[in-house]
Amino acid sequence: MLLIQRAYELMAENRLREAEFMFKAVLKENNNNGHALFGLGQLCIELADYDSAIYYLRRACENLPRELDPLFTLANCFVIVGSVVDAKTVLEYTLSIARASARAHYELGQFYLDHGFIENARKIFEEGISCENEPVTPHIIYEAAQLSATSKLPSYVKKLEHLLEIYSNDQQLKVVIYYALGKCQHRLGNYQQAFDAFKMANDTQIQLCEFRTKDMLPFFTQLREHFSDIYFNQPTNKVTTTFTPTFIVGLPRTGSTLLEQMLVQHSNIGSIGECTVLSDTIVPFLAKRAEAPFPYCVSNLNTSVLDYCRNLYIDEIKDMRVGNEVVINKLPANFQNIGMIYKIFPNARFIHLTRNFGATAWSVFSNHFGANEPYFCSLTEFKLYAQAQIDMMEHFKKYIPQNIFTLSYEDLLKHPAKALNQTLHFLEQKFEPECLEFYLDKRSVSTLSKAQVRKPISKAPLTNWHHYETYMSELLNDDHNAQTNLASP
């Protein structure tokens, strides 16, 4: 076991080949050591060697029949490679052998939710609430609070209040509990109590953040100074690609999941989701090459370097098996990368989504983001971040207006056909009526909007936040009716 423990330590240090050697050394002594097989399976996922991962994980499951983690990891690996039926089979089997496990209920419920089986998800989450309490229980109630009948919500409130006592020393779980309480009270029409719960969630989570939004402002200044006249006046490479790289950018909770779900119903449009290859792979490559941080590493890029960066992005698209004429990346924070993207792909298209500031701020304030980042859990922090994003988009629109199309969330909800026509025209595609039937699609959606996009368009998001306008004024003494970007489409 000491070798296996050391192998996991090496994995944590990203010394993957050394970890692999140790796991295999254990298997030389005992070819059926389940923990070594499980470790190798996880390591192969890190290396993106999914066929080997599945092989090792299957064997781990056979040799660790009483352990659930290998089964959850195998199911996740099947999801990664697109084998949704196999993932479903594994998770349903796991629940069949572990009916008392809240975690088994949560994993299967999340799978159903991600793939549009909303009623199945609801039933599984409700069953999971009756299991013995586990750290995953608050997460189950958070999901169920948004799916169950309102008649069940008072019992959820009582259980959540009890969980606050149980997990009084676990700040991260308290955050989830407070958000779940807010969701329950909102649906019960207890808006003051809902606001108080959401505020407690925000106040607790902000204490877990290791930085503040003001710490990012010098970076945004650097972006504007670097990606300016000299940069954009340089000639771009003549690039011919078989697809149009398209980026949906903006603030969180401005409708990127809804728009993506609509657009991918089009026969010529695909998506790689919220792909981070730019920040995780391309920026580190450029920074190492130039021995300078971003954005300064994006300077004097010759043709061969640009070709290499371009191929890194294209390889990611190929790995995800997306071969459409238009390929969407819907990571909202890519607004920070517009200057670099334009240099790599001069034909890139940027769809900038905006939304009423009050509605956006409330949606962020009342939803649980797993990442402990300040603009996700404080209205004042979010306001600062929103202004920085507005300034960045206005900056880039001065230089490449032809590459940027601004669309408001309100227009998308009020006039979906017209908004889609305009967006598709920007992408040089013709309207297809299937785009309006987005809610019938069962493709995986894992963002906070995964349940909403399984239903026809609702205009409720336009006004839901009005219940809290007075309460918000106590935290934000400002004009809530401003738009998150004042530019018109």
95-106 pLDDT, tens digit each: 999 999 999 999
**Residue 401: is the preceding peptide bond cis (ω within 30°)?**
no
**Residue 218: is the preceding peptide bond cis (ω within 30°)?**
no
Helix %, strand %, coil % of the chain (to 5): 65, 5, 30
Average pLDDT, stretch 257-261? 96
Q: What is the mean pLDDT of the chain?
A: 94
pLDDT band at 114 (very low <50, low <70, confident <90, very high): very high
pLDDT of residue 483: 57
How far apart CA 261 and CA 273 sit, in angstroms, is 10
pLDDT of residue 481: 53
pLDDT of residue 311: 96
Ramachandran assignment for 406, one of left (phi > 0), alpha (psi -120 to 50 degrees), beta (any other) = beta
From residue 428, alpha-carbon distances to 54, 290, 325 in Å are 40, 36, 10
Average pLDDT, stretch 65-90? 96
Give ∠ CA 252-393-217 in degrees, rounded to 5: 75
pLDDT of residue 387: 96
pLDDT above 70 (res 480): no
Alpha-helix runs per DSSP H in 30-68: 34-46, 50-63
Polymer length of the chain: 489
How far apart CA 436 and CA 452 sit, in angstroms, is 14
* DSSP codes of every residue in 341-377: HHHH-TT-EEEEEE-BHHHHHHHHHTS--SS--GGGS
- The residues near 484 (Cβ < 8 Å, ≥ 6 apart) are 250, 251, 254, 354, 355, 356, 357, 360, 386, 389, 390
How far apart CA 107 and CA 19 sit, in angstroms, is 28
pLDDT above 50 (res 486): no
Name the maximum alpha-carbon separation found in the chain: 69
Q: Enter the pTM of the model.
A: 0.91
Question: Do residues 446 and 114 touch, judged by C-beta distance below 8 A?
Answer: yes
Question: Do residues 478 and 202 touch, judged by C-beta distance below 8 A?
Answer: no
Query: pLDDT of 380-438, one tens digit each?
Result: 999 999 999 999 999 999 999 999 999 999 999 999 999 999 999 999 999 999 999 99
How far apart CA 452 and CA 440 sit, in angstroms, is 12
pLDDT of residue 482: 56
Query: pLDDT of 15-41, one tens digit each?
Result: 999 999 999 999 999 999 999 999 999
* DSSP codes of every residue in 403-421: GEEEEEHHHHHHSHHHHHH
Closest CA to 316 of 305, 327, 307, 300: 327
Q: Exposed, middle or buried by CB within 10 Å (0-12, 13-18, 19+), for 128?
A: buried
How far apart CA 336 and CA 220 sit, in angstroms, is 8
Query: Which tokens belong to 445?
Result: 């959606």
Query: Which tokens belong to 209?
Result: 């953040």
pLDDT above 80 (res 323): yes
Question: Partners of 349 in the beta sheet?
Answer: 246
Question: Do residues 40 and 20 touch, judged by C-beta distance below 8 A?
Answer: yes
pLDDT above 50 (res 487): no
